[in-house]
Amino acid sequence: MKKITSFSLLIITITIISCDNEPVTVPDDFTASQGTYMGVVHLAYGDNDGQAIVYRFNENNAQWEEISWTWSTQWDDNGWLLPDNRLIAGKEYRYKMQIYAEGQGDEFSDYSREITGYAFKADPVEISSLNRQNDGSLEITINWTNPNDLLEINNLQDINYDIYRTEDGNYSDFSLIKTLNEVVYNTSDINYDWSYTDTDYSLEPSRSYSYKIATRYMYDFVDSNGSYRDYNEYSVDGEPADDEGAGTGNGGNPVVEYTTSDLGQVLTASSGVIEDIEEKLVDNTLYLGAITDADLYGKPALYEFNGSSWQNVWGTVPDVEFGRVNFAISNTGSYLAGINDSLSVFRWDGSAWSENMTPDNLGQEDSPAAVSIEVLDNELYMAVEQHPDYNLQVMKYNGSTWDTVGGDGNGIIASGSIFETKLKTISGTLYLHYIIDDVLYIKHLEGSTWTTDLTWGQEWLNDIELVKTGTQLYFSSGSASTDFDGGVYRVDNTTTVTNLIPDDHETWFTLGAFDLTANSDGELIVASMKYEYEDESQTSLVSYPHLNVYDGTEWKTISGDFTDGVPPVALSAIGNDVYYIYGDVTTVNAANDPSAIKLKKLTKQR
């Protein structure tokens, strides 16, 4: 009986203790949101007689950290104690909790089961297209789509789309240009497709532009004290999208990077202005001829570039004045020809000028209307158009007299009102071009015969320049009329050409070509005039020369600042380096004619 009584008493004692010290209940309905809230993890648990203590696992120190004591059964974790005090969107966080109930047993419940939760992670918006429109001023329309499903987001208030722009592929220098906002009243009504047209006055058709869209989601949350917090921000940066319209014929070109070396002043007029310049590349040595001290006519000058500076070739000049410069270079000296009242031809042997070498059959009464000289195999050739019959001949100097080259029995190649007569040696071949009645003729010399490369009609051609890469012949033209834009042309056969300048070129190829050259990669480089608005008022335009490269498929603008230049302009390429010769804008007179010529070397970046 004593054993039974003792056992019964023990049971009674345990029962009494259990009733007096009931442990705090461990929560079994503790939940965390799975990406249905912006910027926070929404935590919730059921009713409990006690205060919740919530813990989040810190991966940085492998410790459980207490993040809240709260009586609230629903609240949001926005990242307190984490770096920057914010959650990483889409990253899973581990949580557990206890209940503290004062006066109930040990006062702390056991830990709840461990759960995970994460905040919504948004993908960047996608720029679907960039459309360029150039109708006097450039406009670029950006279209984009928000790829995220936002229907189930519980705390979203606003969406801001920040539009950024940069030029010439410089992704490190994006600038905010516009913000578009959508207030979210109901997530089922969110607009996912957006468009904006960039009409900034500073947009230049010759430049390329890139855009990106940063999305800022504005959200609210409730802290563990039950306090409401609104307009917190979750930002998602977008990927850059390049203006694919640039360089495809609709008003602008992408930029190709060149390093600019300013090689300073080439020459300056002692009085008057620089009337005309002409560059020639002979055995990779660059020469520049000019007419200086000009009013209507001026003094000829010739300079040679030694790789770092210019040397004056002609220590003196004959007592003549010309309106255009005509010079040629051989291994025995240099030549000068020109027309004022009559034709004059001279040779400089390095120390003195010869007597006038004008052919005897070109007297004062038959003064030529046009002249051009060139050297082939160290022999001097001259193209002349003679009055009164307007006959075009090419002559070769044999050391004492002139012999006609090619043509009919009298050496006549063409007759009529002849313009733009010029000889040029290209890769060991002598070319001749001229214009009669708006028809351009290009020929080359084969032995003693002039072979036709092109006969092509076009009004208002002016300042023709020939270039050859491999077997392909090209030429450029300026413009003698506002009704003609000039161009850069590929000779397809003896009667047809293809203009390589796209139709929409209003601001980057104006007034036609100033000069044309080709580099060792076979790319064409053209100098033309660029126009842009001077300021935001868009009431006045400024213009300056600039350079563009054709790589066989598209035009690209050479990087650099060319606003310090004015015509006249000349170009030559040595290897892939471009030598850009131009008038100094700081020396122009009231007619915008410069009195000084400068040089820049442009080195292609590889």
Confidence of residue 439 (pLDDT cuts 50, 70, 90): very high
- At residue 17, the pLDDT reads 39
140: amino acid identity, one letter: I
- At residue 380, the pLDDT reads 96
- Regarding predicted confidence, which is higher, 423 or 308? 423
Most confident of 106-110, 505-509, 563-567: 563-567
pTM of the model: 0.63
Name residue, tokens 């007419």. 291
Q: How far apart are CA 108 and CA 124, in angstroms?
A: 45
**How many angstroms separate the Cα of 124 from the Cα of each of 145, 146, 180, 234?**
9, 7, 16, 12
Judged by average pLDDT, the poorest of 196-200, 234-238, 465-469, 528-532 is 528-532
**DSSP structure class, residue 320:** -
Name residue, tokens 């060319």. 562
pLDDT in tens, 73-102: 999 999 999 988 899 999 999 999 999 887
Confidence of residue 251 (pLDDT cuts 50, 70, 90): very low
Nearest CA to 311 out of 276, 285, 292 is that of 285
Instruction: Count the helices and strands in the chain (H runs, E runs).
Output: 1, 44
**DSSP structure class, residue 171:** G
Answer positive or negative: Cα dihedral of 505, 506, 507, 513.
positive
Q: Are 396 and 402 in contact (CB under 8 A)?
A: yes
Q: Are 596 and 584 in contact (CB under 8 A)?
A: yes
Confidence of residue 537 (pLDDT cuts 50, 70, 90): low
Mean pLDDT, all residues of the chain? 88
Nearest CA to 569 out of 604, 597, 543, 532 is that of 597
Beta bridge partners of 258: 604
Strands (E), 223-339: 228-236, 241-242, 255-256, 258-268, 276-282, 285-292, 299-305, 310-312, 326-330, 333-339
pLDDT in tens, 228-243: 999 999 999 999 988 7
Confidence of residue 361 (pLDDT cuts 50, 70, 90): low
Q: How far apart are CA 77 and CA 54, in angstroms?
A: 10
Most confident of 108-117, 320-329, 446-455: 446-455
**C-alpha count within 13 angstroms, C-beta hemisphere, residue 228:** 2
Nearest CA to 129 out of 222, 15, 243, 237 is that of 243
Q: How many CB atoms lie within 10 A of CB 210?
A: 20
Q: Are 40 and 119 in contact (CB under 8 A)?
A: yes
Is the pLDDT at 365 greater than 70? The verdict is: no
- At residue 339, the pLDDT reads 86
DSSP assignment of 368-436: -SEEEEEEETTEEEEEEEETTTTEEEEEEE-SSSEEE-SSSTT---EESSEEEEEEEEETTEEEEEEEE
Nearest CA to 453 out of 435, 477, 468, 473 is that of 473
Task: Tell me the two tokens of residue 391.
Answer: 């006959």
- At residue 441, the pLDDT reads 98
Most confident of 14-28, 305-319, 578-592: 578-592
**C-alpha count within 13 angstroms, C-beta hemisphere, residue 529:** 16
Q: How far apart are CA 149 and CA 188, in angstroms?
A: 10
